[in-house]
Amino acid sequence: MEVTEATILEQIRQAKKGKQSAFNFLLDLFWNNVYGFQLKRVQSEHDAEDITIETFSKAFDKIESFDESYNFNTWLITISKNIQIDKSRRKKTSIQAQTMDASAEHVKKIPDRTPSPEDKLITEQNLAELLQFIKQLKPHYQEIINLRYFQEMSYNEISDTLEEPLSNVKVRLLRAKKLLSEIITQHRTI
């Protein structure tokens, strides 16, 4: 499927209505752009990934404020740049990092109800085989998959356990499921 500006705009509109698949589409489409931008700036995979997760978390919380006359990628990069600048300032001045203010109203924008294609693929796997696939993920992705699927914690419980904003937990879990799904799919084609 060719991704056009019209397709992107339609997905943004669907995300504004709270449609889960639209959030997944936008995350998948723009992840590498934002991550690559940050990797060049901070030169640390871990920091770049954290900033990218925060970027999508903030963007999804504020998606209704996106002005469709602008480029979505530019908007994400701007958010990402501002997050990175804020983090650098806090690091330099040794001030405690502040948690994002994600109101319950905004956090509900990414529903927790219906299983995504990634969820279905993950649950179809043999447990031993699935554990081998999970071990291929980075440790912080392994942890969130474990908390969600093996300890059956809710998003709120994971947020409390990891002491991270709920919106960050949701984006990190989306990314972890996507990566795990890619590993499973790749294994099936071998």
Please tell me the chain's helix, strand, coil percentages from 3-state DSSP, rounded to the nearest 5. Answer: 75, 0, 25
Does residue 55 surpass a pLDDT of 90? yes
DSSP string for residues in 35-70: HHHHHHHH--HHHHHHHHHHHHHHHHHTGGG--TTS
Q: Give, in order, the Cα–Cα distances in Å from 131 to each of 101, 118, 140, 178, 183.
A: 34, 15, 15, 16, 12
Q: Give, in order, the Cα–Cα distances in Å from 169 to each of 7, 23, 106, 137.
A: 27, 14, 14, 16
What domains, with CATH codes, occur in the chain?
Answer: 5-93 (1.10.1740.10), 112-189 (1.10.10.10)
Q: Cβ neighbours of residue 99 under 8 Å, at least 6 residues apart?
A: 164, 165
- Average pLDDT over the chain reads 84
- Identify the band that residue 88 occupies on the pLDDT scale cut at 50, 70 and 90: confident
Q: What is the percent of the chain where pLDDT is above 90?
A: 51
The mean pLDDT value for 131-143 works out to 90
**How many angstroms separate the CA atoms of 163 and 172, rounded?**
13
**How many angstroms separate the CA atoms of 50 and 181, rounded?**
20
Tokens of 81: 């740049």
Predicted pLDDT of residue 100:
46
Does residue 99 surpass a pLDDT of 50? no
Does residue 190 surpass a pLDDT of 80? no
Predicted pLDDT of residue 98:
42
- Over the stretch 8-49, which tens digit does the pLDDT of each residue have? 999 999 999 999 899 999 999 999 999 999 999 998 888 999
Predicted pLDDT of residue 90:
80
54 burial type by CB count under 10 A (0-12 exposed, 13-18 middle, 19+ buried): buried
Q: Cβ neighbours of residue 140 under 8 Å, at least 6 residues apart?
A: 172
* Helices 72-93 and 45-61, axial angle in degrees (round to 10): 120
Sign of CA dihedral 82, 86, 87, 92: positive
Per DSSP, the three-state class of 111 is coil
